[in-house]
Amino acid sequence: MEVKRVHLKDFTTLGVGGPAELWLVENLDDLARATEAPYRILGNGSNLLVADEGVPERVIKLGGEFAAWDLDGWIGAGALLPQIVQEAAKRGRSGLEGLLGIPASVGGAVRMNAGTRFGTIAEALAEIEYFHEGRLIRVGPEALDFGYRKSGLPEGSVVTRVRLDLKNRPSAEILARMRRVDQARKGQPKRKSAGCAFKNPPGDAAGRLIDLAGFKGMRRGGAMVSTEHGNFIVNLGGASAKEVWALIEEIRKTLPLELEWEVWGRFP
């Protein structure tokens, strides 16, 4: 196990976030030790806004055994979802097509129930193993309370690995579905972001509301409401968490939207 001081901006897709102690755990013994003091779990950092001051808790990242995977067996929570999606397509295994383009770790995807209108990860799970209060627990997806961007996992639990429930289908059919998903994502900005900032309110799209309210293109320092997609806040280069937060506050003065991002550290 390696423990080092890092800047979390180097571990988040938005590219903001201050200092923390990073615990790179490789096996269950490491995980048990790392969780003896207050901690947070870092996946691929693609749904996180981390304060410029960083966080005082240990930040645990899953590697080693937890990043190993076998498509037809156990898949470590530290593995990267895009690799699994591609491998499944290549092997004619269907169920993950709707997750194309989501830059998550498997554990982060389960915790957030990542997905699109083409499908969510919860629909493709056969079994989930998680570490909670010193022990490993295995459950089927029906035992958790999966919903829109939520998993119902107990507070503080760490997803360690999952098994998938994939169906055999001709690769051509899977690839055709993936092309449709890819097409639907075309409007997403390529700049640094953490995906959609706000949850969609029932029956509407947060991006549409932000666009209508005229926020597209609004800037605070290096942070900007994307001109391509109103629900993306992008880092134009060197943005601080404070600048990103200022945009969130500006939007929420007008629109009662709930954040989809997980927020780490202190904000006003």
Ligand X SMILES: Cc1cc2nc3c(=O)[nH]c(=O)nc-3n(C[C@H](O)[C@H](O)[C@H](O)COP(=O)(O)OP(=O)(O)OC[C@H]3O[C@@H](n4cnc5c(N)ncnc54)[C@H](O)[C@@H]3O)c2cc1C
Q: Which residues are catalytic?
A: 149, 196
* Interaction of residue 178 with ligand X, rule CB under 6 A: no
Segment contacting ligand X by CB under 6 A, of 135-143, 190-198, 214-222, 240-248: 190-198
Q: Which of 47, 226, 231, 240 binds ligand X (CB under 6 A)?
A: 47
Phi-psi region of 203 (alpha: psi -120 to 50; beta: other; left: phi over 0): left
| 192 and 15 Cβ atoms separated by less than 8 Å | yes
Check the CA dihedral 201-162-164-176 and report its sign.
positive
Segment contacting ligand X by CB under 6 A, of 31-39, 41-49, 173-181, 212-220: 41-49
Q: Is 47 helix (H, G, I), strand (E, B) or coil?
A: coil
| 136 and 130 Cβ atoms separated by less than 8 Å | yes
CB of 192 to ligand X, least distance (A): 8
Q: Is 165 helix (H, G, I), strand (E, B) or coil?
A: coil
Q: Which of 8, 25, 48, 178 binds ligand X (CB under 6 A)?
A: 48
CB of 43 to ligand X, least distance (A): 2
Binding mask 131-160 for ligand X (x = CB under 6 A): ---------------------------xx-
CB of 13 to ligand X, least distance (A): 4
Residues of this chain, 57-116, that bind ligand X according to CB under 6 A: 62, 77, 102-105, 107-109, 111-112, 114-116
| 93 or 115: CB nearest ligand X | 115
Q: What are phi and psi of 194, to 5 degrees?
A: -120, 35
Segment contacting ligand X by CB under 6 A, of 44-52, 85-93, 176-184, 213-221: 44-52
| 77 and 107 Cβ atoms separated by less than 8 Å | yes
In angstroms, the CA 243 to CA 65 distance is 38
Judged by CB under 6 A, the number of residues near ligand X is 30
CB of 170 to ligand X, least distance (A): 25
Torsion of Cα atoms, 74 then 182 then 232 then 190, to 10° = 100
* Interaction of residue 207 with ligand X, rule CB under 6 A: no
| 112 and 47 Cβ atoms separated by less than 8 Å | yes
